Each structure stands twice: as structure tokens, then as C-alpha cells.
A and B are shown apart, each in its own frame.
Chain A
Amino acid sequence: QVQLVESGGDLVKPGGSLRLSCAASGFTFSDYYMSWIRQAPGKGLEWISYISTGGTFTNYADSVKGRFTISRDDAKNSLFLQMNSLRAEDTALYYCARDLVPGRSTSDYWGQGTLVTVSS
């Protein structure tokens, strides 16, 4: 069965960095676009990035562009999100998701999320 397991969330100070990982199993990871979506505590969903198969194309929300970098390692069935220059407003549960439709972040499987807290 499809499984996505995020890790790497932590408490970090403003201006700090963090790298999130998402381990995928139960499907051919290299065949799928993947996305990151976040949810601030008690708030709604915010799409933040997707990456194409092979990692050729990436796209970001303006709120994270220039600070976050999405990447993937198909040999390790893993998705990553490098987060730099973190701000209090980046505090959220971060989900990785498999995309049903290439380039459309229509996410048919989601992980359980990893919590990032940005606070001094």
C-alpha cells in the first residue's frame, strides 16, 4: 500500500534552517510528481511546492520562493524540503503528497505530516 512518512520537523529559531524528508513506499516513486502542502495550527491548507518526475521542474508559492528548495532522490524513494531563513509564519504541519495529475498538485496520497515550529 502507498505510504508517505515525513520526518525532520522541529523547533527552530527565526532565521534558522531545517530539512524535511518524506520516505515513500508502495508505489513507483520515480513515476510521480510530488508536492509539499502545509497547515498552520488551526488554519487551512496552503500549497507550497511541487517537483516533477526526475526533478527537472519545480514550482513554489511566493511565500516560500527563494527560501525553500524542493528536491528528490529517486534511488532512495525520498522527497525533501530544505527550508532556510525560517520565519514565525512558517510554523505549520508540513505534509508531503503524491500527485495524481502531473504538474497539478492533485494529491491522492498524503503523509501524516511533520511539525515545524519557528519561535525564539
Chain B
Amino acid sequence: DFQMTQSPSSLSASVGDRVIITCRASQSVDTYLNWYQQKPGRAPNLLISAASSLQSGVSKRFSGSGSGTDFTLTISSLQPEDFATYYCQQTYSTPFTFGQGTKLDIK
């Protein structure tokens, strides 16, 4: 199975900060990499698919990059509604594994 490792596991930041979350795959997943945001008590929300394709309706503050084994999710200027847990997911090969999550909270 493909192991997905996110760093950091948790992060404290302030409104207006630029935040970068990384996701590393144990083997190349090409660009079959998604990013989800999950708020407490809510279902995950797809932010970015295919490593860098921003989903319709998602703020342009979010951007994704990378290919192969190393990926990043960047939030350009944190807003209060961005405090949540973020997951990466590889869809290159089944089982479609998720990272362990990065919890982003307010400093």
C-alpha cells in the first residue's frame, strides 16, 4: 500500500499567515493527489484534485502543487474559516490512502 505522510501533524497559526502543509507519498503517485478540508462534526470537503486543480467554489487562497512523491497545500492568507483539519489522499492505486491529517488551529 502507498503510505501518505503529512507534516506537520498540527500547526498553530494566526489570521493572515501563509501556511504550507506537506504530504509525502511512499512511492510516486504521479499527480493523483487530492486535498480535503474537514471541520469538526462535518464531512470532508474536496479542495484540490489532481495535485493542483482547485475545485469550483473553493477560495483562491488555497493552492496545491507537486508531483511524484512530494506535494504541498498552501493557504496564502489564513482566514478564520480555514481553521480545520486537512487531509491528503492518493488516488493512484487502491487502496486510496489518506494522510494522517494536519490540524490547523488558531495561535
Contact residues of A with B, CB < 8 Å?
37, 44-47, 59, 61-62, 95, 100-101, 104-108, 110-113
Residues 25-46 of B contacting A (Cβ, < 8 Å) = 32, 34, 36, 38, 43-46
Indicate if B10 sits at the interface (CB-CB under 8 A): no
Pair B43/A59 contact, Cβ less than 8 Å: no
Total inter-chain residue pairs, C-beta < 8 Å: 53
Pair B89/A45 contact, Cβ less than 8 Å: yes
Nearest first, the 8 closest Cβ-Cβ pairs linking A and B are: A110-B43, A104-B91, A47-B96, A61-B95, A45-B98, A105-B96, A44-B101, A106-B49
Given contact pairs A45-B36, A106-B34, A107-B46, enumerate 4 new A-B contacts (beta carbons under 8 Å): A45-B98, A62-B95, A100-B49, A105-B91
Interface centre among A106, A108, A110 (most CB of B within 10 A): A106
Contact residues of B with A, CB < 8 Å?
1, 32, 34, 36, 38, 43-46, 49-50, 55, 87, 89, 91, 94-101
**Residue on B nearest A45 in the bound complex, by CB:** B98
Select one of A45, A61, A104, A112 contacting B32, CB under 8 A. A104
> Which residues of A lie under 8 Å from residue B95 when comparing CB positions?
47, 61-62
> Which residues of B lie under 8 Å from residue A100 when comparing CB positions?
46, 49
State the CA gap A104–B36 with chains docked (Å). Answer: 15
Pair B49/A46 contact, Cβ less than 8 Å: no
**Residue on A nearest B95 in the bound complex, by CB:** A61
Pair A44/B43 contact, Cβ less than 8 Å: no
> Which residues of A lie under 8 Å from residue B96 when comparing CB positions?
47, 104-105
> Which residues of B lie under 8 Å from residue A101 when comparing CB positions?
49, 91
> Which residues of A lie under 8 Å from residue B45 when comparing CB positions?
110
Interface centre among B34, B49, B94, B99 (most CB of A within 10 A): B94
> Which residues of B lie under 8 Å from residue A107 when comparing CB positions?
44, 46
